[in-house]
Structure 1
């Protein structure tokens, strides 16, 4: 497991390195930790960072900040598990755009770091992919790439950041293949990835690819609770 710590405060980097080292040694997982004092330094060594499994990333840095770095890495195809470190909760909703695992609020807590690392390792070990029959081709699509799925008659339209796929399948059957909790069916014709939700209003859900999906009448509270449960309590509603 390759872990990168990017923080412009040397004391903070040292603390994160110590806690992270203890976690991986305790879990008996081989690891390598790399340290960077700026976003620019990390990009110089890892333009796409595809060789980094977990990225502990400070948001408020001089020069390019951590959120800008995360967005650039994602545009370059990076799939690292990102854990943000910040002293300001104002950035939390921005993190959904880059599929951040979680946030560590300063001053950081050992137990919280361990929880985030465990979550990241579990995600990396169990990343799920779907096999889609598109015409005569079989496509392997990582589940986390899916933003939403919409029903159109006897067909489904599956949207990702970069493209969409159309296949003949019932929404009910697709729903059974997806991870419970992360994917939520908000109507008879729409399933959304809760990791891809940018904003929820009383009338609409806005996704990171700028798709807007109307919320059925009377469903706002249920959808909001599912969203909060998934992101802040680690699982689906009961």
Structure 2
């Protein structure tokens, strides 16, 4: 059994990435909800997205203990607007990320005090929302360790020390900074638990930590320690796209 280690409200981040959308216009709210769910199905395998029609509804959910990681706030709403809500929230909570959505640049200067990860202008573009979600996941929700349990044995591996993973029959060999460890699992199971913006497939049997890649080629990847990982024809183009995106987000 393989589990990704995360954190709870009191300091340990949950492996489930929870997003709240607060928008008073129903068509925009539903469009954002659908877009977030589609994007996160690829970016964060374990996620939950909820939508709220007002700052009051969102405030009540937070008061009831909803552990959101990211709030997508419309700035101009009836009643308490998104900017006022964010300013009040920051007096009590420094952890939750804030993404402002607006149709006007009027409040941009005021927003810096609450440290939003980004501003998106309406109509929200899919590519821009994806970049914002990737940024927040990378900065605030990326797991630092991978906990692997086999029978009564538990092993915690620092993700930064994982160079690559290799599938061998029904086993996964985890090649570390120093040495390697073997666990009974499928590579696909491990892949679902690792940060999708940091690990990519170079081959059907290989999963690589892009932070370790020094050079890419059509037939192999050269890692920083001098080791080489094969690249198959079927994965070359997708691997190249993922690696370029990884470099742009560093």
- Residue 40 (structure 1) aligned to one of 56, 62, 66: 56
Whether the aligned pair in 1 keeps the contact of 2:102 and 2:122 (CA below 8 Å) is: yes
Could you list the per-position Cα deviations for residues 16-42 of structure 1 after superposition, in whole angstroms to 9, with x for gaps in the alignment? Answer: 111111111112421111111000111
Could you list the per-position Cα deviations for residues 112-144 of structure 1 after superposition, in whole angstroms to 9, with x for gaps in the alignment? Answer: 11111111111113599xxxxxxxxxxxxxxxx
Please give the alpha-carbon distance, in whole angstroms, between the structure 2 residues aligned to 1:90 and 1:48.
32
Partner of 1:9: 25
- Residue 106 (structure 2) aligned to one of 58, 72, 90: 90
Distance 1:49 1:107, change over 3 A: farther
Whether the aligned pair in 1 keeps the contact of 2:43 and 2:134 (CA below 8 Å) is: no
Task: Give 1:21-36 correspondences, 5 Å limit.
Answer: 21-36=37-52
- Residue 125 (structure 2) aligned to one of 109, 134, 137: 109
Whether the aligned pair in 1 keeps the contact of 2:103 and 2:122 (CA below 8 Å) is: yes
- Paired residues, what number? 131
Q: Post-superposition shift, 1:67?
A: 0.4
Aligned: 1:20 with 2:32: no
Aligned: 1:81 with 2:97: yes
Partner of 1:64: 80
Task: Supply the RMSD in Å over aligned alpha carbons.
Answer: 2.4
Asked which structure has the greater RCO (Cα within 8 Å, sep 6+), the reply is 2
Bigger Rg over Cα: 2
Task: Give 1:152-191 correspondences, 5 Å limit.
Answer: none
Secondary structure of residue in 1 paired with 2:68: coil
Please give the alpha-carbon distance, in whole angstroms, between the structure 2 residues aligned to 1:79 and 1:35.
20
> After the TM superposition, which segments of 4 or more aligned residues of structure 1 sit over 3 Å from their partners?
none
**Where do 5+ consecutive residues of structure 2 fail to align?**
1-16, 145-247
